[in-house]
Amino acid sequence: MNIVLMIFDSLRKDCVGAYGSPPWGKVHTPHFDAFAQEALVLTKAFPESLPTLPARRAIYTGNRVYPFDKGDFRLKGDFVGSPGWGPIPEDELTLAEILHEAGYRTGLISDVYHMFKPSKNFWRGFDQWTFLRGQEMDHARSGPRLTQEEIDHWFPEEVRGKKGHVGIEFIQQCMMNMVDRRREEDYFSPRVLQGAARWLEENWDADRFFLTIESFDPHEPWLPPRHYRKMYLPEEGREQVVSAYGDVEDLDPALVARTRANYMGEVTMCDRWFGHLMESMRVLGLLDDTMVIFTSDHGHSIGDRNYMGKRGYPAAPEVYDIPLMIRFPKAEHAGQTSDVIVQHHDITATILEAAGVEPPVDIEGISFLDDAVNGGTGQREHVTVGWGSSPTVITDKWWFNCKVDGTGVLLYDRDASDPFARNVAHEHPDAIDELFAQALEDAGGSFPEWIVQLAQDQADAPGCSDLAARA
């Protein structure tokens, strides 16, 4: 059996039609939806750690990254990011290395430039890895630089005030990298998915293959071709393509609407070229002997509860709730839905079980294959998702978020009609202690001192409880 792993960065679960719609309207994803009709659809999938690189480290190794005891990175060639923002540890095997040793031909097609910065090693184990240049702050070009008029067009003053000089450099590099785009095929997700289809065509002689496809879109900057944005907002107006990473209650509603339209346009463009990939697989005769896994690393808040961005504290469902669908060979299990609770690192264990490959060392991910296809309840009753100094514990009943020192508690009742409208921590002190104890247990019984220090230096989230969780 062949295996294709498709990861879209920042793809909100509610922007995949099979899962519903975001609060502001339906997103057109006919190819994602057609895939869902032939797939096993998981409804309770969550990351293991966030953001971008910690999430991939969990997927690529099948191991936990939280509580970031191997995550204090300060490496040349990259900024000091969130805890865990660094390479895969040398003492951990990757899924690609394991499958390569088992006789699979392995390939990676990606435009996630963070994976390829100096000091990174996410291509370990791949027979071919292709890095498509130009996303975000990738220094693919050094000119021509934008004029002030162009900066004003792409970067509204209201958003610029929230991001400052860093934001100007961001938009400068983004637009320099994209200066020669003329056709839709020149955009990033089309390039990635065309490259993946080409890899499949070129590797027809492989007995078995494992292909990982990484599309940074629909991550910001949200710059789809005009015709995609006009599907959602026909009117012309001021442009808005970056995330404010802050409160947007006072932002011009027209700019919020433009941001959403650009994001939705990017999602629909990703959908179209995912359809190209699946059609290529059909033409190549691969759908009868290939398992295709479809997921994202996280979502993005776009005005939800007046916030635009992504963050670990307070944690938000539109960021943490991810799509996960698996199309089996010959569309076996088509139309099935499973509500087993799973995390990113469980994908690794599930792939290995489906491939019949025993990992040479134990991994922490748990295969959900049998439970998901046979209607089982799963092996997890909760997940703990790590992001910086703020774990989030999610059960069917509760959404718990605090700092690792137990302060700044947020507790939401997922059974409420509007779960995130009110922090109920004061009403359920026993629940917060129990959930914090779970976060501590999942961390191995303690948190690294440097993570505790980060928590103590971090301000409490607005609306948090003054109760302190105790394990």
Strand order in the sheet with 398-401: 383-385, 392-394, 398-401, 410-413
Q: Are 317 and 399 in contact (CB under 8 A)?
A: yes
The C-alpha atoms of residue 128 and residue 312 are separated, in whole angstroms, by 34
The C-alpha atoms of residue 369 and residue 250 are separated, in whole angstroms, by 46
| CA angle, 234 then 237 then 241, to 5° | 95
Q: Are 187 and 224 in contact (CB under 8 A)?
A: yes
* b/e burial code for range 238-257 (CB count within 10 A of at least 16 → b): ebbbbbbbbebeebeeebbb
Model pTM score: 0.97
Burial of residue 433, with CB atoms counted within 10 A of its CB: 0-12 exposed, 13-18 middle, 19 or more buried: middle
Quick one: which H or E segment has residue 343?
strand 337-343
The C-alpha atoms of residue 217 and residue 10 are separated, in whole angstroms, by 7
Q: Are 96 and 115 in contact (CB under 8 A)?
A: no
- The one-character DSSP state at 386 is B
pLDDT of residue 165: 58
Give the 3-state DSSP-derived string for 38-67, with helices as H, strands as E and coil as C. Answer: CCEEEEEEECCECCHHHHHHHHHHCCCCCC
Q: Are 53 and 85 in contact (CB under 8 A)?
A: yes
pLDDT of residue 161: 75
Quick one: which H or E segment has residue 3?
strand 2-8
Query: What does pLDDT average to in each consecutive run of 10 residues of the chain (471 residues)?
Result: 98 98 97 98 98 98 97 89 95 98 98 96 98 96 94 90 76 94 97 98 98 98 97 95 94 97 98 98 98 98 96 97 98 98 98 98 97 96 97 98 97 97 96 98 97 94 80 69
Q: Are 215 and 192 in contact (CB under 8 A)?
A: yes
pLDDT of residue 469: 78
CA dihedral 115, 118, 119, 123 (to 10 degrees): 40
Q: How far apart are the first and last CA of the chain?
A: 45
